[in-house]
Structure 1
Amino acid sequence: MAQARLKQLVRIVRPSSQGEAVVDGRRIYILPTRYGMVFGVLLVTLLIASINYANNPAFILTFLLTGIFVQAIFHTWRNLLHLHLRPLYADRVFAGETTFFHFRLRGAGDRAHYSLQFGFREQAPVLADCPASGETEIQVPFQTRHRGLLHPGRLIVETRFPLGLLRAWCYVETDMEAIIWPRFLDAPAEQGEAANAGSADGDRGRGTDDFTGYRGYHPGDSLAHVCWKALAGEKGLLVKQFGGDRVKQIWLDFDALDETSAEIRLGRLAGAIRALASQPVHYGLRLGEREIPPDKGEDHYRKCLDALALYGGSP
């Protein structure tokens, strides 16, 4: 009961049913920065000196600077007010690399938001501006360490605009997650059982031996088969087609590896998949009770690595 009440007191910006988070005034924290505290000490010193010497110009300067400070409080708070933030997606990367969480920002009406800083706890932040009556996309980095599903936690949005005397910030609950692939280890491309397939992928279908012509690009096609010369000649995005009577197939089997550590096995398989993706072969994956049939292309590449990332949960 007490814990539930405590959660209600914490000011967190939560996304709506449409998935968009809007920063309202009651969710914004604001405190002076180090420069703001020095500025406050200066104001107190000026006030004491003005009273001590009964100096009217000193009074005017003190009240003028105080008014500027009060206005800075309002404008710093207002720079976060009604900021719209929509989570998009997260990049898939290997463990140890930096993934990026993508967000779309939208301002309120015709008012722009300047010098906004976005970052997760203990991670490097990124700076961005949100134009008036427009949208912009940002990429917030996160340094990964382990494979599996990564939950980055709450996004911290802050600003020190316009004078740097105050820091206003809020916490945004994003509920985002990223799939982090195992840290790949150098491995021979042909780890596992090799086989040759015939007519199903021969001259009447897809192969790897002889060039047979061009066709339009389909999502998931290997970039190694894209005809870049045709693209440079403004002929569109074309993909080279190959035929042949035999297509090499390779099975990657988790249980067939000698290493005792499951993480090392997953790293070896990730390295083998990474190497095979750039070769004209079809590869399949046997991972415990799960079996992914041999295939190739970007979609198959991600499917295999996703299976490795989610195997047995996070380490």
Structure 2
Amino acid sequence: MFHSLKAYWRVHIRRSVRPQSDGSFQVGLRSIYILPSREGLVMALLLLLMLIGSVNYGSNLGYLATFFLGGIWIISLFHTWRNLFQLKILSVRGGPVFAGNMVRFELLIQNPDSNPHPAVSLGLKLGAQQAATIDAASDYTYAIDLPAPKRGRLKLPELTLSSLYPLGLFYAWCYLSLDAGCIVYPKPAGQGEPSALHLLKREGRGPQGQGVDDFIGHRRYQPGDPPARIDWKVHARDKGMQSKRFAGSQGGGDYLFDWDRLEAMDIEARLSLLTRYLLWCEKRQLNYGLCLPGFYSPIGRGEQQLQRCLTALADFPG
């Protein structure tokens, strides 16, 4: 019940910065919370004592000092609230990284106002805050560093935009629930190089045959295998779904990394080793492909090929 009430509070009652039609986020009138700080509460208590003393002794000078300082206290409330109003979060960028590293999210915040917004802090609710002055009609980029302990999708947690400006008597803040994140690739294995088991062709002849269309056997069908590689004749003889395997590719030193060839290892160990293999081939500018249950990447190389394969490893279930 507590969790359901907490979820209801977060969704229906608590105010947070809402997305605009253009995809950006802007701090609006109803997005800002504000409360007296510890110094503000001390000053409020002193003002109350001064007012009581002025009434008790009928001191006009006491009244003047009390109401003058009270006016400053109230005006600082407005300026603290206004220091966050209308700030706009334009974009969020982060990752990708390998598991075990730190990921940096960069948030671009714009000040559309003609006045600067000093001492605006951004950070995690219970973490360190980064304070900066956002000049008039300009942008500022905040950097938030987060640990990425495991592979998969890392969502940017809820952030707090806050300010104590100008006198530190009030603390104003708003919640930023941004729909942003990054992908975390598996951590590469510490050692290991692809063996001849994965090699398709090297120097014109590979250990598994030669030529682009050399048939080398069957393997069990995996969801995502290209239909053209399914042996429909075998399927017609009620022997199950089998995919054809071929050797050879576009040049020497081509590898195909197959999930089924690492059966003696657990899931995370396989993913870690496959990650190392991909990086090993890319560093040496060798062509490579990747075959996972439900995913197949043809032989190729380059940044797009590497990202496609690493993303498949990061999203692998388990």
Structure 2 gap segments, 5+ residues each = 205-249
1:298 aligns with 2:316: no
> What is the CA distance between 1:262 and its match in structure 2?
0.9
Counterpart of 1:195 (choices 175, 189, 200) is: 200
Note the alpha carbon deviations across 1:210-256, whole angstroms, 9 max, x for none: xxxxxxxxxxxxxxxxxxxxxxxxxxxxxxxxxxx953223323222
Q: Normalised by the size of structure 2, how large is the TM-score?
A: 0.74
1:174 alignment partner in structure 2: 178
> 1:23 deviation in Å?
0.9
Q: Deviations over 1:140-183 (max 9, x none)?
A: 22222222122224332111112222111112232112111123
Out of 69, 83, 86, the residue aligned to residue 82 of structure 1 is 86
Show the counterpart of 2:271. Answer: 266
How much has 1:54 moved relative to structure 2? 4.4
Answer whether contact 2:120 2:132 (CA < 8 A) is retained. Answer: yes
Deviation of residue 110 (structure 1)?
0.9
* 1:150/1:168 CA distance change after superposition, 3 Å: same
How many percent identity over aligned positions?
30
2:12 counterpart letter in structure 1: Q
Number of aligned residue pairs: give it: 268
CA spacing shift, 1:266–1:5, aligned 2, 3 Å: closer
Residue-by-residue CA offset, 1:91-110 (whole Å, 9 max, x unaligned): 11112222222322211331
Deviation at 1:31, TM superposition (A): 0.9
Q: 1:155–1:173: 8 Å Cα contact kept in structure 2?
A: yes
Which among 48, 51, 62 is matched to residue 47 of structure 1?
51
CA distance in 1, matches of 2:141, 2:30: 25
**Mapping of residues 113-192 of structure 1, within 5 Å:** 113-190=117-194
The gaps in structure 1 that reach 5 residues or longer are 200-244
| RMSD between aligned residues | 2.9
Contact 2:112 2:138 in 1 (8 A): no
- Greater Cα radius of gyration, structure 1 or 2: 2
Given that 2:112 and 2:137 are in contact with CA atoms closer than 8 Å, whether structure 1 keeps it comes out as yes
The amino acid that maps onto 2:288 is Y
Task: Sort the Cα spacing of 1:9 and 1:280 in 2 relative to 1 into closer, same or farther, 3 A.
Answer: closer
| TM-score, length of structure 1 as denominator length | 0.74
How has the CA–CA distance of structure 1 residues 35 and 138 changed in structure 2, closer, same or farther, with 3 Å as cutoff? same
Tell me how far apart the structure 2 counterparts of residues 247 and 116 of structure 1 sit (CA, whole Å). 57
Equivalent in 283, 294, 298 of residue 278 of structure 1: 283
- Is the Cα contact below 8 Å between 1:11 and 1:26 reproduced in 2? yes
Q: Deviations over 1:168-211 (max 9, x none)?
A: 11122321121111233213132551233578xxxxxxxxxxxx
Distance 2:202 2:59 in 1: 96
- Relative to structure 1, the CA distance from residue 57 to residue 259 in structure 2 (aligned partners, 3 Å threshold; closer, same or farther) is farther
d(CA) in 1 for partners of 2:141, 2:10: 34
- Superposed CA deviations along residues 232-284 of structure 1, whole A, max 9, x for unmatched, are xxxxxxxxxxxxx9532233232222554212221222233334432232232
Output the amino acid matched with 2:310: L
